[in-house]
Amino acid sequence: MENLSPDAITGWLQPLKDAIGPAWPTLLALMSAFLLFWLTQGFWKRMWAALEANILSNWRLALLGLAAFALSMASGWTTWDGMRNFTREPLLSGLITFGIQGVMLIAAWLIGESFATGMHSRSRNRVYGLTGVIVGMLAGFGIVGGVIALASTGGLPLTTNHILFAGVGLALILLLAILQGDLVRPYFQGAKVIVRNAVLWVMFLACMGTSVFFAFDSRFTAIFPQEERTRASVLRAQNQVAGIVADIGRTLSARQQTETETLFRSEGWGAYENQLDELAGKAQGSQSAIEAYFVEQMEARRRTIAEQQERRASAESQQAGLQGKNVQLNEELSQLQAERPGAMTAVIEQQQVVSEIERRMDEQRAKVLAEEKGVEGSGKAGRGQMWRAEKAALDRVAAELQVANERLRGPQKRVSEIDKRIASIKSELSQIEGTLAQLKGEAATAERRISAAERTTGVEESALNVDPAHVLPAFERAKAAFRRQPTLERLTDLQQQCAQLLGAMAATPATRESIRTVDCDPKRATDAASALFTLNAGAKVFAQNCVGGEKLERHSTTDQLFDFARGCLADSGLPSETTDQLRKRINFAELNRDDKAHNFVVSWNAFQDGNRLAYLALANAIAIDLLVLMTGLFGANALRSPLQDVPSYKPRSAKQLEAIIENALAPDAYETAHAVIEAMQPITPVDGFTQEVILSDNETGDRASVRKVLNAGATIGAVAQDPMEPRRYLVRPELFEFLSIVARKQYESSEEHRRLAELKQLVTVALQPHVGDHAAIVLHNLQPINERDGFSSEVLFKEISPSHHPIVRRALNAAATLRYVMQDVRSGERDRYYVHKDLYKTIAKISSANPITATWQSGHPLLIGGKDEVREGGVLNAAPASVPQDLPTYLTYADNARDKKSAESDDLSPEQAEKLRSYYESRLLKALGLTDVVIKERLGTEGVREAAIDAWKALKRNADRNQRLHELMGEYQNQHNLALSEEYSRLRSEIDGNGQRADILDRADRDVNELFPILMLFPETGLISYIIAELETAYANGLTVDEQELLDRLRDVQQVMADLDLSEVEAWQMVEEALISVDER
């Protein structure tokens, strides 16, 4: 036990834990997935079965499903990316995208299913009487009149061309609808389907709009990178800034105009203008004094100008001489400065030579001293031969140094001379520049004085120069010029003109006293015009800095452009309340710039700019989501059933239609479908019906199954009862096609179906020629046993009649080819054969489908035993019941020859057979509310029967054109058919198995059914009265025009039948005439 301690176990598991430690999350996930799959394996099996049955069996549906999923994923990815750019939350964006794509995909498939179910549905359109017609006409006139009124008043931008095109278009649509209604009808039906399912369309379009919005942003962001945004931002900013600058200019001009009007209406300008007018009025008689004054002023000005011109000329001439000398000195300075580097180079090179010789001289001096001291050389102290040699070498180096120094003095002297001359030239140049500056100042001062002396009244200078007598007119023109363009300069000019005129008059003794009250100072006028002058100053700065395309082109970036716009707005001098809107425009444009704005702002800007990439991205996003819609439409079409082509008043999906029929085919879909197909007979197409099924009165095995399928088909409009023949049912080709598809699928889905089909075919052939009789014999000779390996019956040939041996043997041999029969191989049991339960079922179905004829052996009944033996079906050789002696003998229009031939072959005499048939006919007529006397009176006249049939056909044609009449006739005929069938069943039960009487009853029933349509027209049956009553009841809810006309004609028919004798041909012809519609006439 110590070895099993927790520590020991932990130690054993430690290596395993270390090995799988990094992978334990993966192992845990795999184990969880396996456990979940194991617990839900039933669910996955059912899902796989449903997937295989509904999708994998239809390759078109599978492919469309995959395409829809792929397109939804593609659309969802871009939607998620665009929404992530908006929300900055990937998870939230993913959840919203999943919801959008899921709802959109489901809505697309539901829309497709709505088209599949609604394109063949019909509606009962009604016109609500005369009131409805009047209301509709008034509404139409109101709409047309409203459009015309709006167009005439300018509420709608419609022109004559628009109205003409609309009229031509409506005419073409109307012509197409009349000539080619089949081409237009599906489009109208599709529009009705869309309106009927508007909720689905709203749901899909809402999801599609959201998806397209965000998907477009994703795609446009991908194809419109940052560098393109920057470039677009610059281009957009250029356009926006150009527009803003232009708006500033227009605003400035408008503001100037407003301020100008305000100025001339102000009190300050009014007072100043009064002063000017007073001065002008008093100057009218002082022209000579004014002229003398101006002459004096002009002479003084000319003298001043002449003096200053002379001063300026002197200064300019001196400047010219000094500038010439300045040029010479500069040229010499440049030459010297160019020579100095060469001279300096020679000095440096020679200095290097001198330095080298001095170095050698120092070394040689050291050698001489060392030889003299005995340190080097000979090693002997004193001045010996070696010393003298070294001393001679030292003298030679000293001579070389002297020569080198002599050569150095020349370049050094040249450099010194150049430096001195350069310093001298620079000093002279400084003096010249100072003198030139002084002369320039004098010339400028003279120029300014000349300008000041020449500055007179601006535009009036030429006139004053010519004739001083025009000073007063010049004053008036200055005043007029200021009123035309009130600027500060013109006000100053006006003030100067006023001051000159006022000075001239003040210098004249005659006018001096009269002008003492006149003041030329525009103080109040200047105050009144301050806002205008500010605008004028801003306009000048604005025109100088902002007006002109070249000024805008100087700015290459977005920031510079918006700074330029703000600068222009500041330069304009507009008041703040006027520039608020312009500032907002600048700020808005800068906030929406592409290089810094949000992606959605960039997208919106792209649409405003007409960017084709934006339209391309939008078209791509719309196309992807429309493809999702297309997959839904095509997917629903892939799920279409042939039954959906059946016209119906109630739209149903393919699944609902197929469920109705498949429920009727249960439990054995193949056998039931095969039986219905075999019961169908081809006919000439009538109202879309191409097959017929006639249900016999004999209860066969397949009759109930066929009737069940026909009932199911009738609920969807694929089966209709023939009103002329109650046992005859018309079948549409869509039902035949669906049953064929079901039978084929069931046949191919199971090997057993193929084997059973082959078994039935072989056994049927083996039971020929009397299939029903022989099948009954085989069944009669089968004995039940305990089932083993599927074998549930046995046959002992020694116990069956010898006459039955060939029949049974042929059937067993046919079944043995497919191993449905097995022989007992035990000793003594060789004549025992075991029969499979499927073989028994097959023979039973064959027997049910083929009634016994009792003619397979010399015409004797099949199952008669001994003389007194009674077998199944009763006593076949019983004596017939006595025939009533007082039966009616009418109805001579039947096939008497045929009846007599049949009667002569049995115990009844021909007279008795005829009486019996008359009796049966009277009973059947009584079930319809008629008597043989009425029939004899009305159909006894020659030609009445044919005329009555023509009248019935006229009523039937009306029913073919009117669905309500068709339904009413069918319902009423079904009621009388039921009554007739019940009476027939009662008579059949009274026969008690007598074959001759059954044949007579069948012939009587057939004769009555041949006359059934004519009999339905008789007033006693009440068909016409019933239809009139139903239509009058429906009148409260509104009748169509056709139904109202039909009601009137039926009332005429009722009146004709009440007034005339129906035993006359003319009466029935009048009935037919009343039933013929206006279109047929």
Could you report the per-residue pLDDT of 252-302, keeping only the tens digit for each? 788 778 878 887 888 888 887 887 877 777 777 666 666 666 677 677 777
Share of the chain above pLDDT 70, in %: 73
- What are 19-47's pLDDT values in tens digits? 555 665 666 677 777 777 666 766 666 66
Does the residue 1024 lie in any domain? yes
- Beta bridge partner(s), residue 874: 871
Instruction: Tell me the pLDDT band of 487, cut-offs 50, 70 and 90.
Output: confident
Is 392 part of any domain?
A: yes
pTM over 0.75: no
Do 851 and 979 lie in one domain? The reply is: no
Residue 121 DSSP label? B
Of residues 822 and 168, more confidently modeled = 822
**Ramachandran class of 857: left when φ > 0, alpha when ψ lies in -120 to 50, beta otherwise:** beta
SS3 call for 312:
helix
220: burial class by Cβ within 10 Å (0-12, 13-18, 19+)?
buried
Find residue 121's DSSP bridge partners: 648
Q: Is the pLDDT of residue 1049 over 80?
A: yes
| Cα diameter, the chain | 205
**Residue 144: inside a domain:** no
Residue 695 belongs to domain spanning:
641-749
Domain count across the chain:
4
The enclosing H or E element of 136 equals helix 129-153
**Which tokens hold the place of 209?**
């709009």
Give domain status of residue 84, yes or no: no
Alpha helices in 180-284, H assignment, sequence order:
181-196, 198-223, 226-264, 267-282
Q: Which of 266, 262, 272 has its CA nearest to residue 494?
A: 272
Alpha-carbon distances, residue 98 vs 568, 659, 769 (angstroms): 52, 32, 69
The number of residues making up the chain comes to: 1081
Q: Check whether residue 744 and residue 688 sit in a common domain.
A: yes
* Averaged pLDDT, 195-205: 84
Q: 928 is written with which tokens?
A: 């319809």
Chain-centroid distance of CA 179 in Å reads: 33
Give the end of a domain, one of 454, 470, 491.
Answer: 454
| Contact between residue 207 and residue 103 where contact means Cβ atoms under 8 Å apart | yes
Q: What pLDDT, on a 0 to 100 scale, did the predictor assign at position 836?
A: 92
Q: Which residues contact 973 (CB under 8 A, 6 or more apart)?
A: 721, 723, 726, 1012, 1016, 1023
Is residue 366 located within the same domain as residue 398?
yes
Q: Which residue has the higher pLDDT, 379 or 775?
A: 775
pLDDT tens sequence across 69-124: 888 888 888 888 888 877 778 888 888 888 888 888 888 888 877 777 666 655 54
Mean pLDDT, residues 344-351: 86
Question: In terms of domains, do 313 and 388 share one?
Answer: yes
* Cβ-based burial of 530 (10 A; exposed 0-12, middle 13-18, buried ≥19): middle
Residue 971 maps to a domain = yes
Which contacts of 548-557 are long-range, i.e. CB under 8 A and separated by 24 or more positions?
A: 552/238, 552/241, 552/242, 552/245, 556/234, 557/234
What does DSSP assign to residue 871? B
Residue 587 reports pLDDT greater than 60: yes
The pair phi, psi for residue 730, each rounded to 5°, is -90, 140
Q: From 429, 454, 479, give the residue that closes a domain.
A: 454
772 and 743 co-located in one domain: no
Residues 717 and 657 in one domain: yes
Least trusted range by pLDDT, from 179-183, 490-494, 873-877: 873-877
Taking residues 1014-1021, what's their average pLDDT?
Answer: 84
- The answer to the question of residue 683 being in a domain is yes
| Per-residue pLDDT at 179 exceeds 60 | no
| pLDDT at residue 861 in the model | 38
Peptide bond into 667 cis (omega under 30): yes
Mean pLDDT (the chain) is 75
pLDDT band, very low/low/confident/very high, at 507 (cuts 50, 70, 90): low
pLDDT 10s digits, 700-757:
667 788 888 888 888 888 899 888 777 888 999 888 888 888 888 877 777 777 788 8
Same-domain status, 817 and 740: no
d(CA 987, CA 881): 13
Do the domain assignments include residue 579? Answer: no
692 beta partners: 681, 730
Measured distance CA(821)–CA(761) in Å, rounded: 16
pLDDT digits (tens, 9 = 90+) for 611-659: 777 778 788 888 888 888 888 777 766 666 777 778 776 777 777 787 8
Lowest mean pLDDT among 58-62, 334-338, 675-679, 1052-1056: 58-62
Residue 562 half-sphere exposure, CB side, CA atoms within 13 Å?
Answer: 17
**Domain final residue pick, 749, 777, 811:** 749
Percent over 90 (pLDDT), the chain: 1
pLDDT at 523: 81
Which pLDDT value is given to residue 281?
A: 78
What is the CATH number for 312? 1.10.287.620
Same-domain check for residues 710 and 796: no
Residues 197, 108 contacting (CB under 8 angstroms):
no
Based on the domain organization, do 720 and 663 belong to the same domain? yes
Check whether residue 435 and residue 383 sit in a common domain. yes
Query: For position 852, which CATH number holds?
Result: 1.10.10
Tell me the two tokens of residue 157.
């931008």
Q: Is residue 887 part of a domain?
A: no
pLDDT digits (tens, 9 = 90+) for 891-950: 333 333 334 334 334 467 888 888 888 888 888 888 888 887 788 788 878 888 888 888
Asked if residue 772 and residue 744 are part of one domain, the reply reads no
844 & 740 share domain: no
Task: Please tell me the predicted confidence (pLDDT) of residue 286.
Answer: 66
Q: What is the C-alpha to C-alpha distance for residues 895 and 914, in angstroms, rounded to an integer?
A: 11
